[in-house]
């Protein structure tokens, strides 16, 4: 039986594994994709909002060419962390469910069955896109993830959303030769957009380089058009691609399959604020998933501490209590 299984090989999952290494626990990371899978699926030219220093884990220095590291630099950094600590992980292995077993749990994946005394869920939030639930969303031209601008050169592209991802995508596509239109539910660009991006996108919209429909929604998508509901009525635009930058959410189905309770509209996993232990004994949550759907509240830099918080509690629970008796 393992001491610990960690679901997710993202930065926080790696931080938890490092603490397990320090404690000499018999542990394993189980990851359904690749090392730092969410970061791997970020846009190719993405730049982090945080500094490299705030993304460091395991006392491994993160040196980047600029103050704000790139996706490529982050992938190389976390690979070095993985190698430096010689972390134990199985990739391309997806967790299906978990049941109580003896003094711990039996974990089922698509490849193996494991027995473990404890579990940490550190799966992030980027794997499941928030759907728009509109006619035509299933068409191949509709995409919820964006990698690079090259496929969209000379194409009519509708970008849905007004947060960081949508603004980054709209600007990059415009600069690379796409005809960009934005569909935005609210009356303005999101106030939390990166400070160096917000004035740029607002100026491109103001000058007409990027067409934007505010207070608008999509009614339907067809092979060659997209139909919008706008303050001036319904309109139909010629269209080649729809990039729905509508956000992402944690894998709540995994939580339910494991047996972790979810609370309220935000579906926040039940957990103790000081130890991060859930309603299941010795089962913890770590990273952004602790906030449920409120994914904008937690980040790598302010959840790195979760690894040490969990390990302090876990070691106390795994260490047998010594009973001292005195003879009279």
pLDDT tens digits for range 273-282: 999 999 999 9
Which of the residue ranges 17-31, 52-66, 270-284 would you say has the lowest mean pLDDT?
A: 52-66
Average pLDDT, the chain: 93
pLDDT at 268 over 90: yes
Burial 145-171 (b: 16+ CB within 10 A, else e): ebeebeebeebbbbbbbbbbbbbbbbb
Beta-ladder partners of 220: 135, 227
* pLDDT, position 87: 98
Name the residue ranges covered by the structural domains of the chain.
Answer: 4-128+248-318, 131-244
Average pLDDT (297-312) is: 91
**CATH level 2 (architecture), domain 131-244:** 3-Layer(bba) Sandwich (3.50)
What are the distances in angstroms from CA 157 to CA 149, 166, 237?
A: 11, 12, 10
* pLDDT, position 326: 43
* pLDDT, position 297: 80
* pLDDT, position 10: 95
Percent of the chain topping pLDDT 90: 82
pLDDT at 308 over 60: yes
Confidence of residue 111 (pLDDT cuts 50, 70, 90): very high
Higher-confidence residue of 300 and 224: namely 224
Give helix then strand counts, H and E, for the chain. Answer: 8, 20
Percent of the chain topping pLDDT 70: 97
pLDDT at 322 over 60: no
Confidence of residue 323 (pLDDT cuts 50, 70, 90): very low
CA-based end-to-end distance of the chain? 40
* pLDDT, position 320: 67
CATH topology assigned to domain 4-128+248-318: FAD/NAD(P)-binding domain (3.50.50)
Equal CATH topology for 4-128+248-318 and 131-244? yes
Average pLDDT (262-287) is: 95
Q: What are phi and psi of 308, to 5 degrees?
A: -75, -35
* pLDDT, position 136: 97
pLDDT tens digits for range 179-213: 999 999 999 999 989 888 999 999 999 999 999 99
pTM over 0.75: yes
The per-residue DSSP string of 252-273 comes to HHHHHHHT--EETTTTEEPB-T
pLDDT at 152 over 90: yes
pLDDT tens digits for range 164-173: 999 999 999 9
* pLDDT, position 25: 97
For 45, the token pair is 């030219």
Confidence of residue 134 (pLDDT cuts 50, 70, 90): very high
pLDDT tens digits for range 216-252: 999 999 999 999 999 999 999 999 999 999 988 889 9
């Amino acid at each position: 039986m393992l001491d610990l299984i960690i679901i997710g090989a993202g930065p926080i999952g790696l931080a938890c594994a490092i603490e397990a290494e320090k404690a000499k626990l018999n542990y394993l990371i189980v990851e359904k994709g690749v090392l730092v899978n969410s970061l791997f699926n970020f846009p190719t030219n993405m730049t982090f909002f945080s500094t490299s220093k705030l993304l460091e884990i395991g006392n491994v220095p993160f040196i980047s060419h600029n103050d704000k590291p790139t996706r490529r630099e982050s992938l190389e950094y976390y690979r070095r962390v993985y190698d430096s600590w010689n972390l134990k992980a199985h990739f391309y292995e997806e967790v299906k469910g978990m049941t109580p077993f003896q003094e711990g749990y039996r974990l089922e994946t698509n490849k193996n069955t494991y027995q473990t005394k404890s579990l940490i869920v550190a799966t992030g939030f980027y794997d499941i896109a928030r759907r728009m639930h509109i006619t035509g969303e299933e068409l191949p031209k509709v995409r919820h993830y964006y990698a690079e601008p090259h496929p969209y050169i000379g194409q009519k592209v509708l970008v849905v959303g007004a947060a960081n991802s949508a603004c980054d995508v709209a600007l990059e596509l415009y600069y690379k030769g796409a005809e960009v239109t934005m569909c935005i539910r609210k009356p303005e660009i999101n106030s939390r957009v990166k400070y160096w991006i917000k004035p740029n996108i607002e100026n491109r919209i103001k000058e007409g380089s990027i067409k934007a429909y505010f207070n608008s929604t999509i009614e339907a998508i067809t092979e060659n058009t997209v139909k919008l509901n706008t303050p001036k009525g319904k309109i139909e635009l010629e269209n080649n691609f729809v990039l729905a930058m509508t956000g992402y959410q944690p894998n709540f189905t995994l939580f339910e399959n494991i047996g972790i309770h979810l609370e309220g509209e935000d579906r926040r996993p039940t957990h103790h604020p000081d130890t991060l232990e859930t309603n299941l004994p010795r089962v913890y949550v770590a990273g952004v998933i602790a906030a449920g759907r409120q994914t904008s509240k937690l980040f790598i830099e302010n959840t790195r501490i979760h690894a040490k918080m969990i390990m302090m509690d876990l070691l106390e629970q795994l260490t047998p209590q010594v009973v001292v008796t005195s003879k009279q």
